[in-house]
Amino acid sequence: MIDEAFGQTCRAVAGHCITCGDEGLPMRVESLASDGAVCIDERGIRHAGIAVELVEPVRPGDRVLVHAGVAIA
């Protein structure tokens, strides 16, 4: 499966893909960079490039709800 937003191959983990799924996943912001945040999901998997503009200001340690690579809450 191809992630159209990022042009990458979908990396489904345990049958779930953050980009292809239609649900938000709770994550914790680990760090911020110019190309988005690095967030950690409940399984401990890191996700880079998470867009946080909709929920700014965010800081490392904040919890966010992520759908399709975008923090929405």
Q: Quick one: tokens of 36?
A: 């988005």
Q: Cα(28)–Cα(21) distance, rounded to whole angstroms?
A: 19
Amino acid identity, position 30:
E
Q: What is the pLDDT of residue 23?
A: 78
pLDDT tens over the chain, length 73 residues: 333 444 445 555 555 565 565 678 999 999 999 899 999 999 999 999 999 999 999 999 999 999 888 999 8
Q: What is the pLDDT of residue 13?
A: 54
CB atoms within 10 A of CB 62: 16
> ω before 26 within 30° of 0 (cis)?
no
Please name the CATH architecture into which domain 2-71 falls.
Roll (2.30)
Q: What is the pLDDT of residue 30?
A: 97
Task: Look up residue 13 and give its DSSP letter.
Answer: B
Global pTM value: 0.70
Q: Cα(49)–Cα(1) distance, rounded to whole angstroms?
A: 19
